[in-house]
Chain A
Amino acid sequence: SQKIEQNSEALNIQEGKTATLTCNYTNYSPAYLQWYRQDPGRGPVFLLLIRENEKEKRKERLKVTFDTTLKQSLFHITASQPADSATYLCALPRDSGYSTLTFGKGTMLLVSP
């Protein structure tokens, strides 16, 4: 099954800067990849889905890229705000059968004023 790697160390940035989070996977190339936001003690909230034939997807201040050659997705938050502080999770189909999602452990983002 798929193995997902996200930076375990928290990312600290200043307000107004662009935050870039990385998601690497090790096995087969998935048909799509998703990003979620999770606040402490709460359930993850879906942000963006990008398909294998899409290089880039945008939603307001969020941008996701998907490089199937590198087996990597980058998640960017531009003009970051303290309210963006949270843990961000990437998720992929568990196997090629699209049966279910498996999640990375997430990267905590801390945006300071």
Chain B
Amino acid sequence: EAQVTQNPRYLITVTGKKLTVTCSQNMNHEYMSWYRQDPGLGLRQIYYSMNVEVTDKGDVPEGYKVSRKEKRNFPLILESPSPNQTSLYFCASSLSPGPLHFGNGTRLTVT
């Protein structure tokens, strides 16, 4: 089944403790992206990647890192999480900037 898989679905952590949210797609898509979604602010793009070893900042990249060493994986790294990074995170992929396939989301709480 074609899908984008994010893990974990839920995560509670403390300020400053490094964490990684994984994202994997099985559709051989070149393009992958991370969004965060907050009430009243909608979906905002954090980082995106047009292909392996090519990443670029979205609208809200501060406090996040990404890597794209393989086509299928695009992990999101929070080196030192802060409470303002509490949010619902979505990974998405597509063949090219076009119809996006989204994962089921990761709900992160930073205390």
Question: Which residue of chain B lies nearest to A97 when distances are taken between CB atoms in the complex?
Answer: B97
CB of B99 within 8 A of CB of A49, answer yes
Size of interface on B: residues with Cβ below 8 Å to A:
26
A-B contact count (CB 8 A): 57
Mark A residues whose CB is within 8 Å of B.
1, 32, 34, 36, 41-46, 49, 89, 91, 93-94, 98-106
Write out the residue numbers on chain B whose beta carbons fall within 8 Å of the beta carbon of A42. Answer: 104-105
14 more A-B contacts (CB under 8 A) besides A100-B33, A101-B97? Answer: A1-B59, A34-B99, A36-B100, A41-B88, A43-B90, A43-B102, A44-B90, A49-B99, A94-B45, A99-B50, A100-B45, A100-B97, A101-B100, A103-B43
Write out the residue numbers on chain B whose beta carbons fall within 8 Å of the beta carbon of A94. Answer: 45
A112-B35 Cα distance, complex, nearest whole Å: 31
Q: Is the interface of B mostly helix, strand, loop or mixed?
A: strand
Question: Which residue of chain B lies nearest to A89 when distances are taken between CB atoms in the complex?
Answer: B43
CB of A98 within 8 A of CB of B99, answer no
Known interface pairs A41-B88, A42-B105. Does A105 touch B42 (Cβ–Cβ under 8 Å)? yes
